[in-house]
Amino acid sequence: MPSALEKRPEIAPDLLDYWNGYVNLDRSREWGYQAPLGIRFGEVLAYAQLHQFDHEDAADFAHYVGKLDVVYLKWTAEHGKT
Using one digit for the tens of pLDDT, what is the confidence trace for 2-14? 776 777 788 889 8
**Tens-digit pLDDT profile for residues 18-36:** 999 999 999 989 888 888 9
Structural domains counted in the chain: 1
- What pLDDT sits at residue 56? 96
Q: What is the mean pLDDT of residues 72-76?
A: 92
pTM: 0.81
- What pLDDT sits at residue 32? 86
Q: Does residue 3 belong to any structural domain of this protein?
A: no
Q: Does residue 7 belong to any structural domain of this protein?
A: no
- Phi/psi zone of residue 80: left (φ > 0), alpha (ψ -120 to 50 degrees), beta? left
Q: Does residue 58 belong to any structural domain of this protein?
A: yes
Q: Which domain holds residue 24?
A: 12-77
Q: Does residue 5 belong to any structural domain of this protein?
A: no
